[in-house]
Structure 1
Amino acid sequence: MGSREEIVAAAAKVMREQGYAHATTKVIAQTAGYSEAMLYKHFRDKTDLFRSVLAEELPALGAALAELTADPGQAPLRDNLLRVARLGLAFYVDSFPIAVSMFSSRELLRSHRDRLRGHGPHLPLKGVTDYLRAERDLGRIKPDTDVEAAAALLLGACFQQAFLATFEEREPADRAEQLADVLLAGL
């Protein structure tokens, strides 16, 4: 593992423990065993590092959604929904402790949102919506299905489970099968 990967892993650890707002580049660099100068050799700023943590250290929800959208008919619909639910639960459980501190002040949230430049929490919702639209186009779900609402229901439930697990400091319940089955019944 090279310095960049070690810094990303350290950032994920520090951000999970302290939240984004309190994770300084100095502490991240020290945790990785490098100087801040080395950190800035690989990353423009903490937001750039945060995006790398989301892409490289958290469950690959975005990649799975892109794969499912490109070729939705390769597996049974229930299997695909179960995969999305499992990845959604894992993604939100892992990212919730990191991202929640961004909401500690409006100024921090506004600054972070502006610096994300089009990346952000809307992307998983868009990915699930696109996937469900592809399934609808294949005729595997009802033609009148509101795919945006269905995507919001699935990811909203995953997010809620992550919130509860984080708040209660416990492992999340594995609700992926129930979530997939309830959604499937409505599709």
Structure 2
Amino acid sequence: MPTGVALRDPRQQLFDAAERVLVRDGVTGLTSRAVTTEADVAKGVLHRHFADFDAFLTELVLDRIARVRARTAALLEAAGTGTVADNVTSVLLASFEPVMVAIVVLVIARDELRGRLRAAGTSRFPLVGEGAAMIVEYLTAERDLGRIAPDADLDALAPMVIGAAHLLFTEQKDRQPEPEAVRKVVTTVLAGALR
């Protein structure tokens, strides 16, 4: 890219490029050069906006965590409507798209990234922990409405839902599982808690 050409939103352009590289080439293919090449910008652009590549990756994951938190607000608004299983299924299908699954793998693979994310105040297992927290908040709202048993252990159920869903999504290489398969997992995990 010629010098002096303004980028529309360099951070977002780099994030979008990183997500494409990560989904296409995996963790080992995700390098600063691959990101800047994919974004069609000079390599210096990344370092102009981020201290180093791990700082860039940290901001990328924090951006994804912000999306999970926004999804939490929408899920909480659904409390008391539809069915609990359908609401959880819908949010899992929206959350576990290929980029998120790839970012979870990235977080697992990079120790420095996990350390920086923890220092930034994320859950012990970034993205997965925020996803579980989202489910706990939602199930708490449903319990308050009487649609979940009062003695249900939500802190145990939420990670079970997230873990089972994550396994289902990671088994599907290039596509999402069928919604009915996700719903079946959700219904099975929540069976004892639903009223």
Same fold (TM > 0.5): yes
User: Contact (CA 8 Å) 2:169, 2:177: kept in 1 or not?
Assistant: no
User: Contact (CA 8 Å) 2:27, 2:106: kept in 1 or not?
Assistant: yes
Q: 1:126 aligns with which of 127, 133, 138?
A: 133
Q: 1:23 to 1:85 in 2, by over 3 A?
A: closer
Q: CA RMSD of the aligned region, Å?
A: 2.8
- Structure 1 residue 138: Cα displacement: 2.3
C-alpha offsets along residues 58-96 of structure 1, whole Å, 9 cap, x if unaligned?
9x4432223323x35352233322222322432xx4333
Unaligned runs of 5+ in 2: 1-7
Q: Does 1:97 align with 2:102?
A: yes
Give the TM-score normalised by the residue count of structure 2: 0.74
Cross-structure match for 1:15: 22
Q: Does 1:83 align with 2:90?
A: yes
Distance 2:152 2:169 in 1: 26
Q: Does 1:172 align with 2:176?
A: yes
- Name the count of aligned residue pairs: 177
Give 1:39-50 correspondences, 5 Å limit. 39-50=46-57
User: Contact (CA 8 Å) 1:25, 1:46: kept in 2 or not?
Assistant: yes
Cross-structure match for 1:182: 188
Identity of aligned residues (%): 24
User: Post-superposition, which runs of at least 4 consecutive aligned residues in structure 1 deviate over 6 A?
Assistant: none
Q: 2:79 aligns with which of 73, 76, 89?
A: 73
Q: 2:153 aligns with which of 139, 142, 146?
A: 146
Give the TM-score normalised by the residue count of structure 1: 0.77
* Secondary structure at 2:14 match in 1: helix
Q: Does 1:113 align with 2:111?
A: no
User: Contact (CA 8 Å) 1:165, 1:172: kept in 2 or not?
Assistant: yes
Cross-structure match for 2:43: 36
Q: 1:2 to 1:153 in 2, by over 3 A?
A: same
Higher relative contact order (CA 8 A, sep 6+): 1
Q: 1:46 to 1:134 in 2, by over 3 A?
A: farther
* Secondary structure at 1:17 match in 2: helix
Cross-structure match for 2:143: 136
Equivalent AA in structure 2 for residue 76 of structure 1: G
